[in-house]
A and B are shown apart, each in its own frame.
Chain A
Amino acid sequence: GENVEQHPSTLSVQEGDSAVIKCTYSDSASNYFPWYKQELGKRPQLIIDIRSNVGEKKDQRIAVTLNKTAKHFSLHITETQPEDSAVYFCVSGAGSYQLTFGKGTKLSVIP
């Protein structure tokens, strides 16, 4: 089955700096790559997604890139704020149902 590796597992940045989270996947059939943010005790919330026919997507301070040849995708957060502190999950989706989550990155933004 699909395997998603996510790095780093923890990340601390100063407020205003950038944060980068990198993921790899194994299934060539994967074609959908959402990113979820989960605050402590809350539900995962979709923050951005990218599909395999697009290499890069940006939404304000958040950007995702996808390299389908290398099976890499990454999340970039610029001008980080304390409210960006949370666990971020990269996800790989193939077909119409199964989403495979990475193990998560705990991001701490230090004021």
Chain B
Amino acid sequence: ETGVTQSPTHLIKTRGQQVTLRCSSQSGHNTVSWYQQALGQGPQFIFQYYREEENGRGNFPPRFSGLQFPNYSSELNVNALELDDSALYLCASSLGVVGGAETQYFGPGTRLLVL
């Protein structure tokens, strides 16, 4: 059984650019959630994908978008980067079931710095 992986580990971008972050879910999991963790804060929910469909979204603007692929891996895209987007981006995978809250396992994160 393989764990959750993310790429790249670190990234530096400038304001206005676009970025794509990637996540491979744990073997057997069909759900991926994305979180933003600013320095010294708890992770904040961005959105979740369940079987390739968006299954819920937190309080983030539309320039944050995502995809989930048939193998359940996922991408987070951020357009028009702002300085405040600098953070650790975490994905978490789980085995989604209807009506249940399932354990989420986190990847190591991608640290994004926007200059």
Listed in ascending order, the chain A residues whose CB lies under 8 Å from chain B are 1, 31-32, 34, 36, 42-46, 49, 51, 89, 93-104
List B contacts of A97 (CB < 8 A). 31, 33, 48, 50, 55-56, 96, 101
Given contacts A36-B106, A44-B43, A97-B101, 8 further A-B contacts (CB under 8 A): A44-B90, A95-B99, A96-B99, A96-B100, A97-B33, A98-B58, A101-B43, A101-B44
Interface set, chain B 9-57, CB cutoff 8 A to A: 31, 33, 40-45, 48, 50, 55-56
Q: Are A98 and B105 in contact (CB under 8 A)?
A: no
- Which 10 A-B pairs have CB atoms at the shortest separation, nearest pair first? A101-B42, A32-B101, A97-B56, A93-B101, A97-B48, A43-B106, A44-B106, A43-B108, A98-B45, A101-B43
Q: Which residue in chain B gives the minimum CB-CB distance to A49?
A: B103
Contact residue among A1, A43, A96, A104 (Cβ-Cβ distance under 8 Å from B101) = A96
Give 25 CB contacts A-B under 8 Å: A43-B106, A43-B107, A44-B90, A46-B104, A46-B105, A93-B101, A94-B101, A95-B101, A96-B55, A96-B97, A96-B98, A96-B101, A96-B102, A97-B31, A97-B56, A98-B48, A98-B58, A99-B33, A99-B92, A99-B104, A101-B42, A101-B44, A103-B42, A104-B41, A104-B42
B59 within 8 A of A: yes
Q: Are B108 and A42 in contact (CB under 8 A)?
A: yes
Q: Which residue in chain B gives the minimum CB-CB distance to A6?
A: B42
Q: Which residue in chain B gives the minimum CB-CB distance to A102?
A: B42
Among A32, A44, A94, the most chain B Cβ lie within 10 Å of the Cβ of: A44
List B contacts of A93 (CB < 8 A). 101
Q: Which residue in chain A gives the minimum CB-CB distance to B6?
A: A43
